[in-house]
Amino acid sequence: MSSEIPCLFIAVHAGAGSHAKANDHIYKSICKKACQQAMSLLQAKGSALEGVTAAVSVLENDEITNCGKGSSLTVQGTVECDACVMDGSSLLFGAVGALCGVANPVTIACRLVDEQKLGPLPYGRIRPSILVGRGAQDYCAEHGIEIHNNLVTGDAWNKFLHYSKKCRNSGKSLIASRKRKNDLSEESFSLESKELKECRSGPRDDSVQDTVGAICVDHDGNVAAASSSGGIWLKHSGRLGPCAIYGAGCWAQNQISETKPGVAAVTSGCGEHLMMTLLAKNSSDSIRSSDNIGQSLVAAFKDHFLESEFLKLYQEKFGAVLILRTLLSDSTREIELSWIHSTESMCLGYMAGKDKAPTVTMSRLEDWSKPGQSFSVGGHVIVGQT
């Protein structure tokens, strides 16, 4: 039994952005808890899909993260969540978008994958992989899932009032500026950029962007990935983020040969940037075809994100990837974990079956680095007998 333990692995992240150093211990604590919860399930022979769903549910349940209860609010002051899972064994994907009233949207995404495994509906109808808005909420009600009338926390409401006021004031300044500068002048754009940045600055030092996520390897070597997000502050109702887009928020594929290892990835950062570059899939494709996960991840992050032609209109590109590669060869399983981010910080944790406790860290850019243009990279390797 002990020889199997190292094959188990879970890694999570609590979002990428700018974490206040005073809150490091809070984010590390929730990552630790998520790893422990998932590892307990994996050690009880739970599947990789169950493991990532359990880990992300823990993150959703903590109000400090931007997912589930306590998420960022729309311009109407409501919570709309996105979540996704991908099962590396079946290659099935499930997601919900702009979902209201559900505290753990990742469990609905997981249910969609489980139902797809049952095959077509009567008369050959294809089961859905993605549900959004009212349709997603109706699906939850039909399946007996509790709908909460209010997932807005006091802290989120205070931020909503703060941001709304600043944006109203910024809007007045922008209109006046455009009238003076004929809309398209360089000075008008300069003022707009400054005003919008001020609008986004919050009442506390944390500015954590978008998605949380988890990646996993179970007893059978199966991999899975899951992500969840409350989206950006003051988003338009109905806005979909990377968690609702295939290939953007998460990716997972089992090993099929010694030259095609298993991979699982989750992303975080500016949702529009992640969606335009399909960062989860492109990162996975790159490390799957390389012998060096660190080098290939850096190359992929540069080619498909920081220097992507699809983001040429943006000077600053905010993104992060947490990714693993697993390879079984001659009865030895190697699991490599790596992460990279162009945001100021990224909180993550990971745990192998043999570990007594998770390892948690707050990865930060160097002081001289420029967020959105520079990046930080790290990694970890474990080897075990099957």
In the numeric block, which tokens belong to residue 157? 């409401």
Q: How many domains does the chain have?
A: 2
Rounded-to-integer distance, Cα 94 and Cα 107, Å = 10
First to last CA, the chain: 10
**Can you give the pTM of this predicted structure?**
0.89
In terms of pLDDT, which residue wins out, 185 or 155?
155
Active-site residue, selected from the candidate residues 211, 277, 326, 343? 211
Does residue 192 share a domain with residue 99?
A: no
DSSP element (H, E) containing 186: helix 186-200
CA-based radius of gyration for the chain: 21
Q: Which domain holds residue 218?
A: 5-150+206-385
DSSP 256-296: -BTTB-EEEEEEEE-HHHHHHHTHHHHHHHHHHT-S-HHHH
62-109 pLDDT, tens per residue? 998 999 998 999 999 999 999 999 999 999 999 999 999 999 999 999
Does residue 241 share a domain with residue 187?
A: no
158-170 pLDDT, tens per residue? 999 998 988 887 7
Q: Is 154 a residue whose pLDDT tops 70?
A: yes
255-268 pLDDT, tens per residue? 999 889 999 999 99
Does residue 254 share a domain with residue 211?
A: yes
> Where among 185, 200, 215 does a domain terminate?
200
> Where among 166, 200, 234 does a domain terminate?
200
Does residue 269 share a domain with residue 315?
A: yes
The CATH number given to whatever domain includes residue 98 is 3.60.20.30
Does residue 144 share a domain with residue 159?
A: no
Query: Range with the lowest mean pLDDT among 17-21, 68-72, 308-312, 318-322?
Result: 17-21
Task: Let me know if 211 is a catalytic residue.
Answer: yes
Does residue 101 share a domain with residue 62?
A: yes
Rounded-to-integer distance, Cα 339 and Cα 17, Å = 14
- In this structure, are residues 321 and 301 in contact, taking their beta carbons and an 8 Å threshold? yes
Rounded-to-integer distance, Cα 327 and Cα 261, Å = 5
Rounded-to-integer distance, Cα 15 and Cα 3, Å = 33
Query: In 3-state terms, what secondary structure has residue 14?
Result: strand
Q: Is 191 a residue whose pLDDT tops 50?
A: no
Instruction: Match 């003051």 to its residue by tokens.
Output: 234
Q: How many CA atoms lie within 13 A of 332 on its CB side?
A: 4
Does residue 234 share a domain with residue 315?
A: yes
Q: Is 342 a residue whose pLDDT tops 90?
A: yes
Sign of the alpha-carbon dihedral angle for 286, 292, 293, 299: negative
